[in-house]
Structure 1
């Protein structure tokens, strides 16, 4: 079963901006590029970084904690951590690259709705 939840209005998020919204116990990232909106978990699947505090480049979000990059279209890992040497080896041993959970977005009557799996 799926459910569409209103999280914001289109005027609340400017082009090139990202914000986090609470939906129940989840923190959902809403990002906007032009007239396109993306939704994903706001928590980085690696080190738990707050992705809304990261950077947005097109439909790519960069974690502010360790610079991993994710595609907001499908959640794929584009780059897994910029740490080098021993730190990278330890990080890779602890956690393997994991995709970011993304959600469909519906714009209706100026409202941003996120479609969640129940």
Structure 2
């Protein structure tokens, strides 16, 4: 490019601008899309209803499964993604008692 090109303000040039980077560059012909109180902006979007507590299954988790979910939640909260090889270590840690797992989750959460 050997010379400067002037910025044009016609409709075609404004459509090429990214609305997230240039929020003031919207076209006056088109209405501005504003979110509803629920945050729904498109006609096809809708909010799912709350789950019915009566339709829940009354199954309880095994203690090791519950500890595994709690450990994965603690790792996710700390933004630590376990690698595929770490799953064996997580399985071994979940076999330990609740007190040990609570201390482990506390250590992970305080590492943030």
| Bin for the TM-score computed over the shorter chain | under 0.3
Structure with higher RCO (Cα < 8 A, 6+ apart)? 1
How does the TM-score come out when normalised to structure 1?
0.24
How does the TM-score come out when normalised to structure 2?
0.24
Which structure's residues are more often strand, by fraction?
1
Which structure's residues are more often helix, by fraction?
2
